[in-house]
Amino acid sequence: MKAIVLRKHGNPGVLSFKKIANPKPKKGHVIVKVSCCAVNHLDIWVRKGIPGKKITFPHILGCDICGSLKQGFGNFRKGAKVVVYPVLENPDPLLPSTMIGGFSNYNGGYAELIQVPKSNIVKKPNWFSDIEACALNVSYLTVWNMLEKCQCQKGDWILIWGANGGVGSAAILFAKAMQLKVIAVTSNAKKISKSKKIGADVVIDRNKSNVVTQVLKHTKKQGVNAVIDHVGAKTWPLSIQVLKEGGRLVVCGQTSGPKAIVDVPTVYSKELEILGTYMGTKSQLIKMHKFMRTKKIRPIIDSIFSLRDASFAHKRMESNNHFGKIVLKM
């Protein structure tokens, strides 16, 4: 099969398009013929390497997968269209879960074929194309879980950082479908226009405006009920400032760095909650699919690259010029 093989950490140039042996299914596993695989920031982190996180080379990235079964099992027939729930079960409840194609040493979807535990197979909703379906398993599911944790009610204000990415654009779509008032933060006129087009009530250009001042202005100095934050170090202090009493900061990423400075007195005096989110459950994924069908929500796709052009897809994501999901097509 053809695959993008990672043999060492580094820049996008370390992603090699190779022909390698097909995977052989182990007991309890099934082979999926990959149709497409979306790119996530996790792929960037694994490619670059993070101190303390080790993987075995060679490695194949990719956790956002849609494809078809090479053999049937249970209620699934051979050739059935499926998506892959990307979280691998961890037998130790005190250790964090791991991801297919992530820091798990489990090869991912940047390949024509992938071996997957049968328990991770989910029927692909027929109302989505393969490209759309592969974009939902990581960022959209994470956002769904985050919004459930926000516990917002109709008419509540929510702040969404990084509106141009997969998480940010998904959060705008879902929050508006839940009848929340959305303040999105992004940069440049093009991203601002697109954020408004998909439903944001207020869009703040972080390069030209003081985010805290603008949030307080639009909420009449009340602050927001919740913040969706996948940026990390640079935004946590601001997120804490703009939350109203009893507000929730829900986090899922660290694209600007892993260590944030938090004003502890503000957290306890305003009785704030800080909630971490790592993906969601398989049942949440199925529930989200149904919600998207009912609300007629389609994922935002920024661009589609061929598998051999994975390095260009990574460059696109790292440029931060994208809006929505970036997808690799086999």
**Residue-wise pLDDT tens digits, 120-149:** 999 999 999 999 999 999 999 999 999 999
Cα–Cα dist 86/215, whole Å: 35
Q: How confident is the model at residue 95 (pLDDT cuts 50, 70, 90)?
A: low
| Shared-domain flag, residues 127 and 157 | no
Q: What is the pLDDT of residue 91?
A: 66
Question: Looking at residue 84, what is its pLDDT?
Answer: 98
Q: Is this model's pTM higher than 0.85 or not?
A: yes
Q: Going by DSSP bridges, is the β-strand pair 224-229/243-251 parallel, antiparallel, or unpaired?
A: parallel
Which range among 130-134, 250-254, 286-290 shows the weakest confidence by mean pLDDT?
250-254
pLDDT of residue 256: 80
Does the pLDDT at position 193 exceed 90?
Answer: yes
Q: And the tokens for 88?
A: 């691998």
Residue type, 107: N
pLDDT of residue 185: 96
Question: Which stretches does DSSP call E strand in the chain?
Answer: 2-6, 15-19, 29-39, 64-69, 81-84, 87-88, 98-99, 113-117, 121-123, 157-160, 181-186, 202-205, 224-229, 243-251, 273-276, 301-306, 325-329
Q: What average pLDDT does the structure give for the chain?
A: 95
* Backbone angle region of 237, left / alpha / beta, with phi > 0 → left and psi within -120 to 50 → alpha: alpha
Q: How far is CA 106 from the centre of its chain?
A: 19
pLDDT in tens, 261-276: 899 999 999 999 999 9
Give how many domains the chain has, as a whole number. Answer: 2
Q: Are residues 105 and 69 in the same domain?
A: yes
Whether residue 119 lies inside any domain: the answer is yes
The answer as to whether 290 is a domain residue is no
Determine, yes or no, domain membership for 149. yes
Q: Residue 281 domain-assigned?
A: no
59 shares its domain with 184: no
Q: Is residue 282 part of a domain?
A: no
Domain harbouring 169, CATH code: 3.40.50.720
What percentage of the chain carries pLDDT values higher than 70? 98
* DSSP conformation class of 161: S
Chain centre to alpha carbon of residue 135? 8
CATH code assigned at 12 = 3.90.180.10
172 and 251 in a single domain? The answer is: yes
Q: What is the pLDDT of residue 150?
A: 97
Question: Does residue 131 share a domain with residue 51?
Answer: yes
Q: What is the pLDDT of residues 43-82, one digit of tens each?
A: 999 999 988 888 999 999 999 999 999 999 999 999 999 9
Are residues 193 and 129 part of one domain? no
In the chain, count of helices (H) and strands (E)? 10, 17
Amino acid 104: pLDDT:
83
127 shares its domain with 19 = yes
Question: Is residue 286 in some structural domain?
Answer: no
Residue 73 CA to residue 304 CA, distance in Å, equals 31
Report yes or no on 289 lying in a domain.
no
Q: What is the pLDDT of residue 175?
A: 98
Cβ count within 10 A of residue 290: 11
User: What's residue 323's pLDDT?
Assistant: 95
Question: How deeply is 283 buried, as exposed, middle or buried, from its count of CB atoms within 10 A (0-12, 13-18, 19+)?
Answer: exposed
208 and 82 part of one domain = no
- Tokens 């109709």 locate to 154
Domain limits at 44?
A: 2-135+299-329
Q: SS3 for 281?
A: coil
* Residue 97 pLDDT exceeds 90: no
Query: Do 155 and 45 reside in the same domain of the chain?
Result: no
Look at residue 93 and tell me whether its pLDDT is greater than 80: no
Residues 161 and 269 in one domain: yes
Residue 130 lies in a domain: yes
* 56 and 150 belong to one structural domain: no
Same domain for 24 and 110, yes or no, is: yes
- Tens digit of pLDDT for each residue in 225-249? 999 999 988 999 999 999 999 999 9
